[in-house]
Amino acid sequence: MTWAIAHSLIRIVLTLIVIVKVTRFATTLNRVERFGLGMMGGCGLLTVNVIWERQQSPYDGWAGTLFSFGAILFLFGRTLRDWKHQRANDRMAAQGALWAERKAKGLPLEP
């Protein structure tokens, strides 16, 4: 019983965190992250019923599975965003190095 209460509260808090993240920071998330968070929030809330009915709910199998799929989508979207950010940083660093090299040689800074 204690674990069921703890698990239910954790799922509800997780759903609230997802709601805040999606509504307050929607412009900073890409589509895959938003969709994954939406699945996590919705299906996380559906699993509370499964906990209390001791796996005798119509949401028994698929709510947990879709919650996990939402987490995978969110993490995949986050990884894509990190890769793009790193690639942009590398490109800017290369341009900065080229600019510093041209400046040191006394060449015009604009090609």
User: Which DSSP state fits 25?
Assistant: S
What mean pLDDT do residues 81-102 have? 93
| pLDDT bracket for residue 7 (50, 70, 90) | confident
Residue in this structure with the two tokens 């894509």, named with its chain if needed = 80
What pLDDT score was predicted for residue 36?
Answer: 94
Rounded to whole angstroms, how far apart are CA atoms 15 and 55?
20
User: Which DSSP state fits 110?
Assistant: -
Distance from the Cα of residue 47 to its chain's centroid: 20
What mean pLDDT do residues 79-105 have? 92
Q: Is the pLDDT of residue 111 over 70?
A: no
Q: Is the pLDDT of residue 65 over 80?
A: yes
Q: Tokens representing 88?
A: 């942009």
Domain locations in the chain?
Answer: 2-79
